[in-house]
Amino acid sequence: MKRIQRREITTSKSCLLLCSAVVAGLLLISSRTALAQDTIDWTGGSMDPQDTGDPTPTNAFFSDNYNWYDLNTSGFPSPNVAGGYLDIDANNLLAWQNAVLGSGNGSFNGPGSRLLTNDLAGTTIFSQIYVNPEQSAIGGIGTFTLAGNPMSLSGPSPQIEVQNGSFTFNNNLVMIQDTTLDADNTDGHTPYLFVGGLISGNYNLYIEGAGRTRFNVAETGGYTGNTYVGGTLSVTISSGMPYGAGYGDMYVQSGGTLQIENNNFTLNGLNGPSSARVWKASGSGTRGLTVGANGDNGDYEGSYYVTGNCGTLSFTKIGTGNQIFGGTAGAGVSASTNRIGEFLVSGGTLTFNGTIAALGGQGTGSLTAGSGGTLVGTGTAWQVEALNGGTLSPGFGGVGTMVAQSNIILQAGSQFALTLDAPTSGKYGQLVGQAGQVTLGSTLALSLGYTPSPGDWFDIIVNNTGKAVSSIFAGLPEGEQFMVGGTDFDISYTGLDYYNGATQVGGVNDVVLSVIPEPSSLVLAGFGLLGACMLRRRSRK
């Protein structure tokens, strides 16, 4: 993210830097690179050591000129208010004072807070808002709040940047270009940027900084661009992100963190590289993400975990698109307090190529194909399940293995779908059960990607549980023959190849398909043998 180069100013106490110019009733803020030496400061009632007799109020309004003065001349800007907007000289820098302290018995007694309200009816536009409440001599750090009417950011690099302390932005933010929210702890502090207003506009939003940016209000119906998280973004309520048709996707960038707090919330497509993080570190019970609301595809390869004794983290795929999950889901403390919950697909396709880690041998997380959803991939989970109306298709691109560390459950009304490209292992999808129980009941849906030959066989479910398969695929008992695309198969739940004399080709509890000759070819072969015998008899005569 391109950062604006900061310039030293004459005062040593700068917290909110607003570079301003007046244009036809608008408060416009120019780039910091065009600043003059003169500085305008909002006192906001702070007990300024250089002006301890200043009786200015604790809080202020944009239209209240009593709270503005010139640090160099100790005079108010003139004119103070004109035409319903704040009128400040075009070359002046507006600074939020850093010495924000409480008062008691005439002495400083710790950090204080200040509220500045935009009570102007017109559009208020800044290039950036810069908050840096430097730590005072007694260790106090001030807190700042902006509230009131909507505001916008415009310029070479529009952003709100907080370097330490906390800053709450309660105004509605109307984006008129791509905008950055930056909780930047470059000075070693941990800043907080709290967003308490609706963000709107057809532009992208960038979250930067190693501090925390937190959405405290509903952003559904807000901005329509993508969200790029290079810092840390916390979402505290269920409607905390815009989603659905016409809204953008989530991109957690390298080193970025999307944090789930006290509620579930919904996104469109979720994207991120292996170094991205999605995590739950507060609240209790089961919380998680729902993704795919706009039908877009997504590809997330990062980590997905719960820590801090915060319960269970789940994942749900909806919509019509394909969401790829290629990362690792896990918990940071113990399985008794933290768990990865269900990865459920109830719409479109979830391609799960990642891992849901088991903790201490305890189950933590299942892959589930719900009604209307298709689960594919080569991932590993504690349990793999297909519900009535769901489709399970192990493999990625029709090839590869999906592993259940415990149970495999394919319910009646579900589909177990495979494409057979060759009898060689690795040329078709496999489901592997390592422990627990393999329970069948789904419909077996096969398609062919090659021309099979009699004697080809496919070990479609590798059952390493040490237990026999429970039940069967719908309508296919042991040894049953059936046809797919003009090719005859038989099925065994005990690893047998019936074409080759019931030869054991798979494990004794595996589910194996064998290609057998078509009945018509057997009849022709019989006639051929009969004809050969007759010829032999005639030749003997």
β-strand 17-19 against 93-96: which pairing, if any? antiparallel
Closest CA to 345 of 391, 304, 306, 312: 391
Determine the average pLDDT of the residues in 141-168. Answer: 81
Cα(504)–Cα(387) distance, rounded to whole angstroms? 31
Exposed/middle/buried for 455, CB within 10 Å: 0-12, 13-18, 19+? middle
Phi, psi (rounded to 5 degrees) for 536: -65, -40
Residue for token digits 């008129």?
176
Determine the average pLDDT of the residues in 206-211. Answer: 93
Say if residue 533's pLDDT is above 50. Answer: no
pLDDT in tens, 226-283: 999 999 999 988 888 999 999 999 999 999 999 988 788 899 999 999 999 998 877 6
Q: What pLDDT, on a 0 to 100 scale, did the predictor assign at position 31?
A: 25
In angstroms, the Cα distances linking 538 to 157, 524, 529, 535 are: 99, 21, 15, 5
Question: For the chain, which residues make up each domain, given as ranges?
Answer: 365-541
Phi, psi (rounded to 5 degrees) for 519: -55, -35
Q: Which residues contact 34 (CB under 8 A, 6 or more apart)?
A: 19, 91
519 or 315, greater pLDDT: 315
pLDDT in tens, 381-414: 989 999 999 999 999 888 899 999 999 999 999 9
The answer to which of 239-243, 264-268, 327-331, 341-345 has the lowest mean pLDDT is: 327-331
| Cα torsion through 418, 419, 425, 430, rounded to 10 | -20
Closest CA to 131 of 191, 180, 68: 191
Q: What pLDDT, on a 0 to 100 scale, did the predictor assign at position 160?
A: 87
Q: If you ran DSSP here, which 8-state letter would residue 468 be given?
A: P
Provide the pLDDT confidence category of residue 116 given band limits of 50, 70 and 90: confident
385 or 123, greater pLDDT: 385
pLDDT in tens, 90-106: 333 344 444 333 332 22
- 47-56, 75-84, 463-472: which is most confident: 463-472
Burial 191-200 (b: 16+ CB within 10 A, else e): bbbbbbbbbb
Phi, psi (rounded to 5 degrees) for 60: -155, 170
